[in-house]
């Protein structure tokens, strides 16, 4: 049920933007992603290399973090991507650990737990992976049943035709004002649809493809990606895509107004200023079949 707008003393409107189910899913998702990233990097650190195919071709990774001993017995860290090798000592490959040079792929502040503990990292990763999947499934089910996904996330033909202009406005850090800020803009809609129906399902399926138990029961699963190692690489790339999405999302929150955005995800209410609605623009009717 839609909640009524509330007019504030300064003339602005407090509109109800996010129902409780959406807010809960948002914060659970954020917590899951933080733990999954840290624990996933802990798992990656056990073998910091990515391959294509079914096998680990140790001499031909498409990406790797490694440490090499120098003639003076010091260690240098290197990151290799598609055959290109860059020294990354102190960040990736090698760094001081306990006061001594160590062949550690990733710094402690990036992994969960911070110390080398593959067993704990795997336990956390598996638990939060299922919570992440269940939370995403519940969010999508709620959105489909309530009609929210159709109403709020599926762009109209008119919005798609204005995609180029929306991109330019965002690059200039100009965000929708007035009544236009009541709903998601076309870039937000497309981004959320990509995350919901492409990136998150890929994360779940590629994660399942790396499970030895599931591989035994469903041997065709890793072959969907060309082999178990390819699934692992896709899993990593999708994870990095979600990290990039989150960073851009946070930057947009800061640029658009931190308190207003955060408050909408805590209370559901978002404040708009109707006086900032461009008078020269008339609403374009939605396309109908």
Domains recognised in the chain with CATH numbers: 6-47+111-276 (1.20.950.20), 49-105 (no CATH)
196 or 277, which is more confident: 196
In this prediction, residue 1 has a pLDDT band, given cuts at 50, 70 and 90, of: low
C-beta of residue 232 within 8 angstroms of C-beta of residue 206:
yes
Closest CA to 181 of 283, 278, 272: 272
Largest interatomic CA distance in the chain: 73
Measured distance CA(185)–CA(33) in Å, rounded: 24
User: Which pairing describes strands 95-97 and 100-102: parallel, antiparallel, or unpaired?
Assistant: antiparallel
Q: What six digits make up the tokens of 113?
A: 């737990």
What is the structure's pLDDT at 252? Answer: 87
Burial of 19 by CB count in 10 Å (0-12 exposed, 13-18 middle, 19+ buried)? Answer: middle
Share above pLDDT 90 across residues of the chain, in percent, rounded to a whole number: 66
Task: Give per-residue pLDDT as tens, 14-32.
Answer: 999 899 999 999 999 999 9
Residue 287: pLDDT above 60?
no
- Average pLDDT of the residues of the chain: 89
Residue 33 burial (CB count, 10 A) = 19
Measured distance CA(260)–CA(58) in Å, rounded: 50
Q: What six digits make up the tokens of 206?
A: 């590629």
C-beta of residue 52 within 8 angstroms of C-beta of residue 226:
yes
Task: Give per-residue pLDDT as tens, 182-239.
Answer: 888 899 999 999 999 999 999 999 999 998 888 888 889 999 999 999 999 999 999 9
Measured distance CA(84)–CA(179) in Å, rounded: 50
Q: Which residues pair with 75 in a beta bridge?
A: 69
Q: What six digits make up the tokens of 67?
A: 């440490």
Measured distance CA(191)–CA(194) in Å, rounded: 5
DSSP 280: T
Gyration radius from the chain CA atoms = 23
- For tokens 């969907």, name the residue: 224
Read off the pTM.
Answer: 0.87
């Amino acid at each position: 049920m839609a909640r009524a707008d509330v007019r504030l003393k300064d003339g602005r409107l407090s509109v109800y933007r996010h129902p409780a189910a959406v807010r809960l899913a948002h914060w659970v998702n954020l917590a899951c992603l933080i733990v999954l990233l840290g624990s996933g990097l802990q798992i990656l650190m056990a073998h910091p290399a990515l391959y294509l195919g079914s096998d680990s071709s140790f001499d031909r990774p498409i990406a790797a973090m490694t440490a090499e001993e120098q003639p003076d017995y010091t260690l240098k860290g290197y990151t290799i991507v598609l055959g290109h090798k860059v020294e990354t000592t102190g960040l990736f490959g090698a760094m001081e650990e306990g006061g001594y040079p160590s062949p550690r792929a990733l710094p402690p502040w990036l992994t969960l737990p911070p110390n080398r503990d593959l067993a704990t990292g795997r336990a956390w990763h598996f638990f939060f992976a299922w919570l992440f999947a269940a939370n995403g499934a519940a969010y999508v089910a709620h959105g489909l049943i309530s009609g929210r996904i159709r109403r709020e996330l599926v762009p109209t033909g008119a919005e798609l035709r204005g995609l180029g202009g929306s991109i330019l406005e965002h690059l200039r850090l100009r965000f929708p004002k007035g009544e236009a800020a009541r709903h998601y803009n076309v870039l937000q809609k497309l981004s959320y649809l990509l995350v919901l129906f492409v990136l998150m399902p890929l994360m779940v399926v590629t994660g399942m493809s790396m499970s030895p138990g599931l591989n035994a029961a469903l041997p065709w699963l890793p072959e969907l990606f060309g082999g178990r190692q390819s699934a692992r690489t896709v899993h990593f790339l999708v994870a990095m895509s979600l990290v990039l999405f989150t960073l851009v999302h946070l930057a947009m929150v800061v640029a658009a107004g931190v308190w207003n955005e955060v408050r909408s995800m805590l209370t559901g209410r978002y404040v708009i200023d109707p006086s900032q609605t461009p008078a020269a623009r008339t609403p374009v009717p939605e396309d109908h079949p």
